């Protein structure tokens, strides 16, 4: 049974799989046309020429023309269909009949049958072949009948030439035709298998191509479009927006402090989080908009067909809120936020390069303003960025040209009025612009990393000043210098301080460093370790701008610090009347005293403030009331005057 099935299977032609159907359909159509051309040729060559040569053969030309033109007509109706193929098979065979009538002889006719069958293999299908075989067998039987019984129509014999062949010849002919059909059927089978195989390989290659082109245009981690794809898509978006006078927005997104997650929880958690970020972003935008990942934690969203700034604002707000929701990765529950900058075509820029740059600038502004927010690009923002870039670019040169100087603001003991030291504050003596204050360049230096060079110089210069003061006899004077975030985290800070102290032979106890509350509060573990090392070298530590951060009492107790510097805003609260506004200040003063820390008030401008602070037993103050920050020579003059009074 099984063998029988196998045999049948081998005899049957293969069925055409779905993916090859299209190419088969195309080849059917092509073969239809080839057959039509061949029919036309054989009509013109075999029947036209003979009919010209022998005037009795005109009817062959007419009959051949009838068959050929009928097939042309059929083509108009059935091109590419099975019906057309069957008709083509019949037509080819009817031509053999025309040949016989033209007295071309039986042998020629047999040749024609065989060649016609072979030609029909073009179709890679059995139907036309079978139709042809059937036609030729049937018309032989019919011929024989007509000849044998001399059938006549309208008094004329239907067969003009009588070969008088017997049925034995008909049977023999049928056997020939069947064998020929079997041979050509086999050829058709081979052709079909070959064509199917070809299609299979093509399909495989196409599939591979698709995979390849997907991975070339998509990010492997998140599956989002990558930079290349984004650029291609943006080109299209731009020309579309231009043509239909539409607006679109480009959003630049950057995760806040993503590096911390990678550093503390590992890259696997970071990667898993990025995948979630990608899908959360994708869920937030419309189908026609684009989200692409263009860097580690950087994404771009394109909002097409933008109708108003409110829509854009709503989208960005939605993104921020979605990010504030909890993130769960493995066992971790994480908090995450994102900063977004946006630029709009054509309002902000008309080319993609600028649009990207402006959205990036706006994103940086969102970061600088405290992260977890969005920021629109504006022209004033652009001017500001240019200004900042200019500052960033000229700072190195300014350092070489010794344009930076330290000024010193006296620190006064409230009760006695004695200047016990000062704070070193940096100034930039710009050759064109005059004095530039640190508020304008410290943050930029921090962003570019130049702060490490600048900060090292400040430490060195402060300690050198301490050395000079000691040489003048002011050995007990304290000077503090400000340490920025990046500098504080830098591994060489302690070594830098110790080396400077050694070089200028300065007692560590006379140097203090000021670190702002917010810097200290970040990564408490690291802060504690660093502060302990600085303290062990004998240098004093002061918490600057106290009250502006969020340090809790329990943290404050753990920190190895010597003094608190109350932020100016609390001192400003000391008004002539009303106690309410002083509540915070009073609390801070009590807190400092309870923790055994010295308390310094900064920004004291009026006598009333000074008097109040003295009454509240604050230890020291700084402020314009005593003096602004002044050059070193003026500072020593102030010291000298102060000493001579007290």
Residues with Cβ within 8 Å of 116's Cβ and at least 6 positions away in sequence, in order, are 92, 93, 95, 96, 132
Site size with Mg ion, rule: CB under 5 A: 4
> How many other CB atoms sit within 10 Å of the CB of residue 523?
14
Quick one: CA torsion of 329, 332, 335, 339, rounded to 10 degrees?
-40
Helices (H), 492-567: 493-503, 517-521, 524-536, 553-558
C-alpha 487, offset from chain centre: 33
Site membership for ligand C2E, residue 439 (CB under 6 A): yes
Give the Cα separation of 593 and 619 in Å (integer): 10
Considering only 11-19, 524-532, 579-587, 596-604, which stretch makes contact with ligand C2E by CB under 6 A? 596-604
User: To the nearest whole angstrom, how small is the minimum distance from the Cβ of residue 490 to ligand C2E?
Assistant: 12
The rounded distance, in Å, linking the Cα atoms of 493 and 513 is 11
Binding residue count for ligand C2E, defined by CB under 6 A: 24
Measured in degrees and rounded to the nearest 5, phi and psi for residue 552 equal -90, 160
- Nearest distance from C-beta of residue 565 to Mg ion, angstroms: 6
Span 292-351, contacts to ligand C2E by CB under 6 A: none
Q: Is there binding between residue 482 and Mg ion (CB under 5 A)?
A: yes
Name which position in 458, 531, 597, 639 contacts ligand C2E (CB under 6 A).
458
Distance of closest approach, residue 435 Cβ to ligand C2E, in angstroms: 10
Q: Which residue is nearest to Mg ion (CB)?
A: 514
Which residues are within 8 A (CB) of 607 and not within 5 positions of it... i.e. 6 or more apart?
625
Stretch that binds Mg ion, among 76-84, 152-160, 474-482, 504-512 (CB under 5 A): 474-482
- The answer for residues whose C-beta is within 8 angstroms of residue 481's C-beta and 6 or more apart is 406, 423, 424, 458, 459, 462, 511, 512, 513, 514
Q: How far is the CB of 643 from ligand C2E (least distance, A)?
A: 22
Of the ranges 40-48, 270-278, 291-299, 622-630, which one interacts with ligand C2E (CB under 6 A)? 622-630
Cβ proximity to Mg ion: between 128 and 547 the closer is 547
Task: Kindly tell me which of 181 and 482 has the beta carbon lying closer to ligand C2E.
Answer: 482
Residue 256 binding ligand C2E, by CB under 6 A: no
Q: Of 511-570, which residues contact Mg ion (CB under 5 A)? A: 514, 544-545
* Alpha-carbon span 413 to 428, nearest angstrom: 29
484 binds, among ligand C2E, Mg ion, none (CB under 5 to 8 A by kind): ligand C2E
Strand order in the sheet with 290-295: 290-295, 298-306, 247-255, 338-345, 374-376
Is residue 459 a contact point for ligand C2E (CB under 6 A)?
A: no
User: Quick one: which of 603, 613, 620, 635 contacts ligand C2E (CB under 6 A)?
Assistant: 603
Taking the least distance from each CB to ligand C2E, the nearer of 19 and 457 is: 457
Distances (CA, A) of 101 to 94, 97, 98, 627: 11, 6, 5, 130
CB atoms closer than 10 angstroms to residue 193: 13
User: CB under 5 to 8 A by kind: which of ligand C2E, Mg ion, none does 185 bind?
Assistant: none
CB neighbour list of residue 8: distance below 8 Å, 6 or more residues apart: none
Give me the half-sphere count of Cα atoms (radius 13 Å) on the Cβ side of residue 446.
16
Instruction: Tell me if 388 contacts ligand C2E by CB under 6 A.
Output: no
CB of 357 to ligand C2E, least distance (A): 29
Which of 250, 426, 559, 561 is the binder for ligand C2E (CB under 6 A)?
426
Q: Give, for 415, the enclosing helix (H) or strand (E).
A: none
* Minimum distance, C-beta of residue 413 to ligand C2E, in the bound complex (Å): 16
Pick from 611, 587, 608: which is nearest to 599 by CA?
Answer: 587
Site string for ligand C2E, 486-525 (x = CB under 6 A): ----------------------------x-----------
Residue span 528-547 as binding mask against ligand C2E, x where in contact by CB under 6 A, dash where not: ----------------xx--
Among 162, 437, 449, 472, binds ligand C2E (CB under 6 A): 437
Only segment of 72-80, 81-89, 371-379, 598-606 that touches ligand C2E (CB under 6 A): 598-606
Kindly give the pairing relationship between strand 247-255 and strand 338-345: antiparallel
Give the C-alpha separation, 423 to 544, whole Å.
11
Query: Strand, helix or coil at 406?
Result: strand
What is the C-alpha R_g of the chain?
Answer: 48
With CB cut-offs between 5 and 8 Å by kind, which of ligand C2E, Mg ion, none does residue 285 bind? none
Cα distance between residue 544 and residue 97, in whole Å: 113
Which of the stretches 340-348, 371-379, 432-440, 578-586 binds ligand C2E when contact is defined by CB under 6 A? 432-440
Q: Cβ of residue 244: shortest distance to ligand C2E, in angstroms?
A: 51
CB of 359 to ligand C2E, least distance (A): 30
User: Which residue lies nearer to Mg ion by CB, 39 or 454?
Assistant: 454
| DSSP conformation class of 450 | T
Per-residue contact string for residues 391-420; x = within reach of ligand C2E by CB under 6 A: ------------------x-----------
**Is the Cβ of residue 256 or residue 602 nearer to ligand C2E in the bound state?**
602
Among 629, 632, 638, 639, indicate the residue that binds ligand C2E (CB under 6 A).
Answer: 629
* Contacts to ligand C2E from residues 70-129, by CB under 6 A: none
CB within 8 Å of 382: residues ≥ 6 apart: 358, 361
Label residue 345 exposed, middle or buried (CB < 10 Å: 0-12, 13-18, 19+): buried
Indicate the helix (H) or strand (E) that contains 30. helix 18-42
Closest to ligand C2E by CB, 374 or 621:
621
x/- track of binding to ligand C2E for residues 469-488 (CB under 6 A): ------------xxxx----
Q: How many CB atoms lie within 10 A of CB 527?
A: 20
Binding part of the chain for ligand C2E, among 41-49, 78-86, 159-167, 603-611 by CB under 6 A, reads 603-611
Of the listed pieces 83-91, 190-198, 229-237, 601-609, which binds ligand C2E according to CB under 6 A?
Answer: 601-609
Within 285-349, residue ranges assigned H as helices are 309-324
> Which residue lies nearer to ligand C2E by CB, 282 or 429?
429
Long-range contacts of 204-210 (CB under 8 A, 24+ apart): none
Residue 623 binding: pick among ligand C2E, Mg ion, none (C-beta 5-8 Å cut-off by kind)? ligand C2E
Q: Contact residues for Mg ion (CB under 5 A)?
A: 482, 514, 544-545
Q: Which residues bind ligand C2E (CB under 6 A)?
A: 409, 425-426, 437-439, 442, 455, 458, 481-484, 514, 544-545, 602-605, 622-624, 629
């Amino acid at each position: 049974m099984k063998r029988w099935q196998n045999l049948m299977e081998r005899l049957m032609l293969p069925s055409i799989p779905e993916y090859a159907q299209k190419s088969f359909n195309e080849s059917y159509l092509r073969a239809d046309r080839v057959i039509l051309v061949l029919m036309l040729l054989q009509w013109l060559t075999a029947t036209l020429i003979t009919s010209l040569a022998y005037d009795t053969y005109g009817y062959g030309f007419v009959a051949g023309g009838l068959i050929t033109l009928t097939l042309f007509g059929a083509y108009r109706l059935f091109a590419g269909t099975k019906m057309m193929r069957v008709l083509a098979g019949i037509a080819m065979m009817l031509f053999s009949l025309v040949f016989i009538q033209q007295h071309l002889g039986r042998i020629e006719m047999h040749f024609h049958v065989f060649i016609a069958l072979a030609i029909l293999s073009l179709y890679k299908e059995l139907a036309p072949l079978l139709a042809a075989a059937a036609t030729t067998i049937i018309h032989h039987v019919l011929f024989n009948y007509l000849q044998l019984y001399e059938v006549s129509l309208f008094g004329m014999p239907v067969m003009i030439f009588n070969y008088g062949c017997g049925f034995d010849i008909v049977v023999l002919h049928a056997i020939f035709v069947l064998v020929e059909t079997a041979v050509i059927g086999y050829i058709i089978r081979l052709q079909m298998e070959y064509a199917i195989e070809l299609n299979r390989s093509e399909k495989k290659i196409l599939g591979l191509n698709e995979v390849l082109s997907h991975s070339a245009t998509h990010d492997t981690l998140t599956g989002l479009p990558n930079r290349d794809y984004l650029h291609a898509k943006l080109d299209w978006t731009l020309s579309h927006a231009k043509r239909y006078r539409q607006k679109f927005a480009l959003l630049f997104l950057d995760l806040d402090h993503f590096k911390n997650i990678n550093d503390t929880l590992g890259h696997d958690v970071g990667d898993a989080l990025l995948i979630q970020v990608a899908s959360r972003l994708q869920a937030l935008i419309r189908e026609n908009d684009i989200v692409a990942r263009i860097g580690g934690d950087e994404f771009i969203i394109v909002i097409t067909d933008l109708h108003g700034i409110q829509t854009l604002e709503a989208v960005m707000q939605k993104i921020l809120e979605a990010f504030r929701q909890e993130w769960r990765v493995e066992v971790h529950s994480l908090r995450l936020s994102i900063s977004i900058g946006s630029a709009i075509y054509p309002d902000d820029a008309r080319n993609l390069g600028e649009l990207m740059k402006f959205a990036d600038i706006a994103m940086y502004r969102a970061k600088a303003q405290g992260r977890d927010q969005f920021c629109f690009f504006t022209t004033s923002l652009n001017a500001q960025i240019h200004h900042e870039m200019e500052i960033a670019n000229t700072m190195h040169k300014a350092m070489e040209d010794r344009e930076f100087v330290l000024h010193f603001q006296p620190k006064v003991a409230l009760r006695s009025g004695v200047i016990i030291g000062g704070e070193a504050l940096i100034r930039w003596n710009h050759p064109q612009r005059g004095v530039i204050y640190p508020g304008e360049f410290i943050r930029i230096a921090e962003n570019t990393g130049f702060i490490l060079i600048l900060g090292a110089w400040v430490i060195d210069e402060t300690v050198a000043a301490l050395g000079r003061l000691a040489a003048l006899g002011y050995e007990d004077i304290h000077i503090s210098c400000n340490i920025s975030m990046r500098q504080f985290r830098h591994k060489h800070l302690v070594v830098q301080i110790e080396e400077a102290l050694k070089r200028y032979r300065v007692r560590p106890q006379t140097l203090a460093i000021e670190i702002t509350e917010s810097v200290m509060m970040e990564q408490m573990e690291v802060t504690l370790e660093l502060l302990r090392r600085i303290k062990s070298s004998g240098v004093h530590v002061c918490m600057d701008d106290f009250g502006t951060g969020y340090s809790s009492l329990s943290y404050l107790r753990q920190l190895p610090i010597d003094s608190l510097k109350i932020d100016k805003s609390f001192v400003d609260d000391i008004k002539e009347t009303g106690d309410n506004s002083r509540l915070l200040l009073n609390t801070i003063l009590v807190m400092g005293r309870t923790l055994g820390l010295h308390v310094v008030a900064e920004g004291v401008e009026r006598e009333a403030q000074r008097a109040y602070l003295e009454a509240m037993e604050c230890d020291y103050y700084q402020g314009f009331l005593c003096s602004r920050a002044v050059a070193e020579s003026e500072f020593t003059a102030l010291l000298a005057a102060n000493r001579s009074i007290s």
